[in-house]
């Protein structure tokens, strides 16, 4: 899961739970601050450079099985 411990993962269909968590976070400064810290730390694991590198690596691993026409030959 992308969120990790840096946020909440709630069912989109559970309106009551969303309501409870929003109210809790509005009232609980320390919980908001903790989620903020953990969320920022978690976000450091992701970048466009890492994503692009991963995609390029995956695509290169497919090259041996691609037809010659798709390899640019």
pLDDT at 54: 93
State the pLDDT at residue 63: 83
What is the per-residue pLDDT for 5?
85
Q: Which has the closest alpha carbon to 8: 27, 34, 29?
A: 34
Q: List phi, psi (to 5°) of 13.
A: -90, -10
The per-residue pLDDT for range 8-65, each reduced to its tens digit, is: 999 999 999 999 999 999 999 999 999 999 999 999 888 999 999 999 999 889 888 8
Is residue 70 pLDDT above 70, yes or no?
no
């Amino acid at each position: 899961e992308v969120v990790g411990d840096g946020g909440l993962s709630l069912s989109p269909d559970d309106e009551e739970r969303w309501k409870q968590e929003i109210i809790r976070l509005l009232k609980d400064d320390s919980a908001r601050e903790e989620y903020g810290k953990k969320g920022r730390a978690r976000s450091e694991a992701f970048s466009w450079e890492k994503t692009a590198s991963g995609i390029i690596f995956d695509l290169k691993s497919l090259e041996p099985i691609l037809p010659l026409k798709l390899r640019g030959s």
